[in-house]
Every structure is written in structure tokens, then in C-alpha cells.
Amino acid sequence: MSTNQSIKPITAEEKEHLMIGGCDTVELAKKYGTPLYVIDEATLRGICRDYKEAFKDYKNIKMMYASKALCTSAITRILDEEGFGFDTVSAGEIYTVFKAGVDMANVLFNGNNKSASELELAIDCKVGRFSVDNFYEAELLNRIAEEKGVNVDILLRITPGIECHTHDYIQTGQIDSKFGFDLSQADEIVTLITEKYKNLNLKGLHAHIGSQIFELKSYYDEVDILVKEIARINEKFGLKLNEMNIGGGLGVKYTKDDTPPSVNDLAKAVTDAMHKYAVEIPTIYIEPGRSIVSTAGVTLYTVGSSKQVPEGRKYVAVDGGMADNPRPSMYQAEYTAQVANKINQANEETVTIAGRYCESGDILINEINLPKLEAGDILCVYNTGAYNYSMASNYNRVEKPAMVLVNNSQSDIIVYRETLDNLISHDNIPDRLRKND
């Protein structure tokens, strides 16, 4: 079983309390406060090695971590140490990996509406690849590169027309998508690049079909489309494109009913699709994000108030919710949880875990069986490493949680908890509104 097929971090142990990375989660909550994001380093490094082992027989593979899943300086350092490059989608992500000391040749800049300032930063930081998403960006990037007197290497992002059985908001490969060139537009953009945009070096094609994908046939079909399109472009335009970015999107196991394929299964689907063709082996980029970091992360909450609806549900509130994990509200995402300080107690009641925010939709988990909950209990929600911190907000003017890294019974802060002063640090009161001293 590969790491993405586990609900819990690989170091999770049920002793007197729930242990992760050799650390007592109840003690972590006491030391650092809650809500608290916890990342298990062994799990994170384990899945990186799963990927490298699964694809070891494909000689031209480049592993690129999708930074949008979770981008912090410490996480970047770990992924860099494990030999991963980085798929970035903003100036902030580029700057984070740059300041972490990453070889920027192993960084790709992706996104559907990159600003001029972001493109300038990426060029100045010597980002290795740009995934060009649209006609506007191609013209803008070429102009900026020309002004700076440099040539930049690019991939063209295409929409392959593959619809995955996942949430509509996280499908990206279907024809009706905001991302990429339709295949019918390929000749037009390639003509512009070869005849007009002389500062763009076209290296290959890029596609991404979605997120939380369980169907391996989607990847098989994607490779099939990309290989055929690269061959067609090469023949028509006399080019030698030899790079193919298939994106990421492999699913993870949030609940017992989820059945994601293993990383080995993914590797076999991709390589089997490639072996159909008697072509020179292209360089394949793969960009896992969620499946790299999700299982490594948990969130700890402290239980507060509760409410029993007459003839209805029992709500138990925790000190976090939709601001530190918006996925249940946005995607109807489901999670698994345990009570860290009652890990050995039997489940006694079915409750709905509610957040603290002023929205009726702020529900973290609907109807979960747990031991009887009391104020002060520590709830551990599993598989929150991806798209929790990275999508967190200050809704209701609440401070964002801290994040700690655990390994071999040691815990280290990797993101400090926000303070009330942090919240108002960018506020400004115009002179005309200030009270007289």
C-alpha cells in the first residue's frame, strides 16, 4: 500500500493518547495551542520516495511538486531534499521556493492569468519552464523576455477534453475549462511562436486533468492525446518537441470508502500508455500535490460548546472550521477524525462537528461516531495536509493557525500562529478619520 492510500500518517500510534511522529498530539495541542496544523515528516518523505520508486524504470521522468497544495519554506526544503522540482502558480510560490534555495531550473510557472510583474519575477529568478496558458500570455511573455534580452523555455498548456469523475470545481481537463488552449487552437499558437515570438522556445505540451482522481484510464487517455499531438505538431512544423507534462491529481484516502489507486498503479498506467508508441522516450513531468502532502497532515482542534437539537442532530463545536479548512464548505469534502485524548475509548454517540465561524455551512464533519465529547477534548482530523493551510483565510477576523513539523519525537514550528497585531498590521486609518489625541 502506498502512502496516499492511508487515512492516517504512517507514524500514527494509539497509545494512551494519539501519537504522530513520536509526539503526543495532546501535548502538542497544549504546547502550541489549537487549531494546529501538524505535518509528519516521515509520511511526507515516504510518499516522495514512493513516487521515485514507482517511476524508477522510466529514465526521463521529472517529479514536480504542485506547490499550491501546501507551500511553506520548510516544506519546500524537504521536497527539494527529496529531489523534487516545483510547479508554482504565483509570485508568492516562486519567491518562497527561491528564498528556500531551490535550483530554479527545476521550477515551472503555471497559471491562467499571470501578471506582467509575476512574469518579470519568474524571469529574474531564472524559472526553468513557463507553462503558457493562452494567447495573451504568449504575447506578454515574449515582449517581457525581449525587453530583458533573454529567451525562455515554454510548454503549451492544452485542454485534452478529458472529464474526470471528481468535483466540478477541481476538473481542469475538460473542453469547457478556463485553463489552456483547445486542441483546435494548437496550430495557431505554434505558428505565432515559430514565426513571431522569437524569445519563446517551445519544448513541449502540458495538460492537467483535475484533482482527487481515482480513474487511471484518465491518465492513460491523457498520455495518448499528448503523444499524438506532439507527433502531429512535430511533423507539421518540423519541430522536435520532446517534453510532456501530464500534471498531477492522484487521489488520496479521506474516508474508509475512498479507494485511490496506488502510486505504482499510476506509474504503470503512464508507462503502459507510453509503450504503445515506437517513439523516442520524451521527458515526462508529473506534478503531484495533494497525494504528496495530504496524508502527512492532520489538524488538532479543541472541543468547546455542544447543542442537542430536539429530535435532531447533536452539534459539537471546535475552535476552528471553515477558515482553516474551507474544503467541506466548498467541495462537500469528507474527513475522518478521532479524539486524541480518548483514543482508547469506544464510540458512544453520533455527532456533527461544527466550526466556530458565523456561517450555518461551517460544518467540518457530518454525523461521525466518536467517544462522548466534552469541552477541552482534542479532536484530530486526518488528511488535512493539502489545501487547508494553503486555502485558509482570516474570516471573522480570526488569526490563522500555527503549523508544526514532527519527526522522531521532536516538534518544530514551521509556521507561526498569527497574532491580533498581525491581523491589523496592514490596516490604515486615514488622517481625516483619526481621533484627536
Q: What is the pLDDT of residues 18-40, one digit of tens each?
A: 999 999 999 999 999 999 999 99
Q: What is the pLDDT of residues 323-358, one digit of tens each?
A: 999 999 998 999 999 999 999 999 999 999 999 999
Give the contacts of 387 (CB within 8 A, at least 6 positions apart). Answer: 68, 69, 70, 290, 294, 327
pLDDT at 55: 94
How far apart, in whole angstroms, are the C-alpha atoms of residue 324 and residue 267?
33
Give the contacts of 104 (CB within 8 A, at least 6 positions apart). Answer: 97, 98, 125, 126, 127, 128
Residue 381 confidence class, pLDDT cut points 50, 70, 90? very high
Q: What is the pLDDT of residues 408-432, one digit of tens each?
A: 999 999 999 999 999 999 999 999 9
Burial profile 262-300: b = 16 or more Cβ within 10 angstroms, e = fewer: bbebbbbbbbebbeeeeeeebebbbbbbbbbbbbbbbbb
Angle in degrees, CA 132, 135, 141, rounded to 5: 55
Q: Which one of 23, 71, 164, 358 is the catalytic residue? A: 358
pLDDT at 274: 82
Cell 483546435 -> residue: 184
The answer to whether 76 touches 96, Cβ cutoff 8 Å, is yes
Angle in degrees, CA 173, 178, 184, rounded to 5: 65
Answer whether 40-293 and 297-424 agree in fold. Answer: no
pTM, entire model:
0.94
Q: What is the pLDDT of residues 117-133, one digit of tens each?
A: 999 999 999 999 999 99
Class of domain 297-424: mainly beta
pLDDT at 364: 98
Residue 171 confidence class, pLDDT cut points 50, 70, 90? very low
Task: Give the right CATH number for 40-293 from 3.40.1640.10, 3.40.50.10860, 3.90.700.10, 3.20.20.10.
Answer: 3.20.20.10
Residue 136 has pLDDT above 80, yes or no: yes
* CA-based max dimension of the chain: 80
Asked which of 170-174, 223-227, 336-340, 393-397 is least confident by mean pLDDT, the reply is 170-174
How far apart, in whole angstroms, are the C-alpha atoms of residue 103 and residue 86?
10
Report the length, in residues, of the chain.
Answer: 437
The answer to whether 405 touches 411, Cβ cutoff 8 Å, is yes
In the chain, what are the domain boundaries? 40-293, 297-424
Mean pLDDT of the 269-273 span:
87
Our answer to whether residue 48 is catalytic in this structure is: no
Residue 278 confidence class, pLDDT cut points 50, 70, 90? low
* Residue 145, C-alpha cell as written in the block: 523576455
